[in-house]
Chains A and B, each alone.
Chain A
Amino acid sequence: MTPARIMEGSEAIAEAVALARPQVIAAYPITPQTHIVESLARRVAEGELESQFLTVESEHSGASAVLGASATGVRTFTATSSQGLLYMAEVVFNIAGMRLPIVMTVANRALSGPLSIWNDHQDSMTLRDAGWLQLFAQTAQEAHDLQLVAYRVAEDPSVSLPVMLCVDGFVLTHAFEAVEPITRDQADLLLPPFAPWYALDPSEPVSMGTYAEPAVYTEARYAVHRAMLDSRPVLARALDDLAATTGRRYDPWLDTYRVEDADVVLVAMGTAAQTARLVVDELRGGGDAAGLVAIRTFRPFPAQEIRDALQTVRRVVVLDRAVSLGADGIVAGEVRAALGDRSTSVVCVIGGLGGRDVARETLRRAFEATEDGWIDLKKELVIR
């Protein structure tokens, strides 16, 4: 165990990125991702980190530059938020299709309009189908640890897929916490040097990003899907190794808290899950059998683990911090599908949008919800 340091979430993330020694970093400024890349730029400027830091003119080019660099066989990093993620969306899909093990941190933020710089999960959720693994961290420590694990999983030859580490903007990125940093020796144990399948190299020419006729497109897409499913044991093994090396153990799929005998279980992702633990204890103290499931890995989606965790629970409330407008909360929809025709009642609560605080009272009300709805909605402000 290394001594803990009080670190800003962004700094904890940047420190883990630096431990991975990406050779090319490209990023465009957007709140609240900025502190992560500023920290990396400073480390490069001070000579602490040897990396090509590219100040690109847009997120579209940032994603494109790390695509080009990764295709040329080096480890890369980028980070973004919100509009930035959507601006690079076509490249994000492309990166997965090309099986490039790029790691990107998304400081989760609401989408415009109206313009909001504050936290929710709509940005990452909107790109959930892109072919990237999506990990949601609950604390700065976890973000620090998963950041390194992300490289290990992405670059594993049986996976070779990009990984998106999702962290709550401001709530995680700008908050100060005690973090036990991974040491250089531990990092080198956990993350071997990047050895790509192939790379752009004149001595062994390959064509990457080719055109597919209908006769082969389906198979190319299936291969990406298959790789995503095959990442499951790789992620589990990487987290086992992390535990063996650092003593910090994370379930690869989800955290369960006081679920065994629970009457009602809240499903949440990200920092809200930490607050929800406190609320579970409070409710238990008052005689209510409450529990919590915190989803850590949203892609690949842990349907079986969710079924197992909720098998004896009668009522489930899903806190969705993003919404598929006109349909449903996105996490709730997937939890419902995972549970199938079980008699469990699944209630979708949409809340914590655009930075509205997910306070203990919010979550207490969420636990009480018996029908789908938008929590804490100020109906008098809704213009139709």
Chain B
Amino acid sequence: MATDVTQGNVIVANATGCLEVTTTAYPGSAWRVPWVHSVFGNAAAVATGVRAALRAKGVNDVPVIAQAGDGGTADIGLQALSGMLERGDDVLFIAYDNEGYMNTGVQRSGLTPTDASTMTTPTGALSEGNPHLKKDLLSIVLAHRPAYAATATPAFHKDLQHKMQRALSIQGPRFLHVLVPCPLGWRFESRMTMEVARLAVQSNLFPLAEWRDGVLEKVKRIGAPIPVEDYLTAQGRFTHLFDGERGEIERGFLQQIADENARRLGIASFGR
């Protein structure tokens, strides 16, 4: 989509991940735009270098995009992302958040939600899945006062396209957080991908919003919120939460997270 919006006039720096390995098996490449991959955690810093080189060459009309999964953004790539944002580098960073290390076989990342079952946070006699909170990535990004930041998901395709266009029309450090459900890792049928993404938004677990210079600008209204349970039951990774007393408490906790998201953005929460 980004390459469509820019009509190929773009340079892309990619982190290691499934997007990289599935599109660039040497000597072939699916990319029709200049594309560079280095290692897992440095997409933002590579993009910084690309932008600096373009500046040195006097080229100012080529957008630079860095892209990474949730690990390459919020965990191993967080320091490089922070540096890129803090220096004010003119780069659009796109995070494809599928809430785990899916390329390596579904392990927990810092963006895996609480209670999700993964290969490194399995459920068991002593475990309800991931014991940690999903890292508040947006707040970390916003603390850097980026020129533009937004959350989006392919379930709201027009909204995503609008944000991509908007992001590409602005100069300075920009950040797009895209929630991308992973059928394998979240355990649902592929045909349900858009539906699951839509439920994440409607339940307020992943609200869609835009920020300019670190200040909330706009929240997408999507009608009456749905209970978090509707989102959880659509996936296999939360099945254990519907089995016993402990699960009920955990479900309540996840609903609280959704309610808190709504409160912070000033939108309606479920049942209020």
Contact = CB atoms under 8 A, between A and B. Distances in A.
A206 interface: yes
B35 A208 contact: yes
Contacts of A90: 39
A210 B41 CA distance: 16
Interface in B37-88: 37-39, 41-42, 44-57, 62, 79-80, 82-83, 86-87
A268 B33 CA distance: 49
Contacts of A71: 36, 46, 49-50, 53
A200 B34 contact: yes
A98 B36 CA distance: 10
B250 interface: no
Given A60-B42, A207-B24, A68 B80 contact: no
A59 to B, nearest CB: 10
Interface in A34-79: 51-52, 54-58, 60-62, 64-74, 76
Contact of A205 (B25, B34, B51, B57): B34
Interface in A67-98: 67-74, 76, 90-91, 94, 98
Nearest to B21: A211
A207 to B, nearest CB: 4
Interface in B153-168: none
B55 A94 contact: no
Nearest to A22: B56
A57 B26 contact: no
B233 interface: no
A209 interface: yes
Nearest to A201: B34
Nearest to A219: B26
B45 A220 contact: no
Interface stretch (B6-14, B93-101, B205-213): B6-14
B80 A61 contact: yes
A24 interface: yes
A379 to B, nearest CB: 43
Interface in A99-126: none
A202 interface: yes
- Chain A interface size range: 35 or more
B27 A216 contact: yes
Instruction: Identify whether the interface residues of B are mostly helix, strand, loop, or mixed.
Output: mixed
B242 interface: no
A345 interface: no
Nearest to A56: B83
A90 B8 CA distance: 30
A23 interface: yes
A54 B82 CA distance: 14
B49 A67 contact: yes
A72 B48 contact: no
Nearest to A205: B34
Interface string A312-352: 00000000000000000000000000000000000000000
A205 B33 contact: yes
Contacts of B9: 202
Contacts of B34: 200-202, 204-207
A212 interface: yes
B11 A72 contact: yes
Interface string B249-264: 0000000000000000
A24 B53 contact: yes
The 5 closest A-B pairs by CB, nearest first: A68-B49, A72-B53, A57-B83, A64-B45, A61-B45
Given A207-B24, A211-B20, 16 more contacts: A51-B56, A65-B45, A65-B49, A68-B13, A68-B45, A68-B46, A68-B47, A73-B53, A73-B57, A201-B34, A202-B33, A202-B34, A205-B33, A207-B35, A210-B29, A211-B26
16 contacts: A23-B53, A52-B56, A54-B49, A56-B48, A58-B80, A61-B48, A64-B46, A66-B49, A67-B38, A67-B49, A68-B46, A90-B39, A205-B8, A205-B32, A207-B35, A211-B20
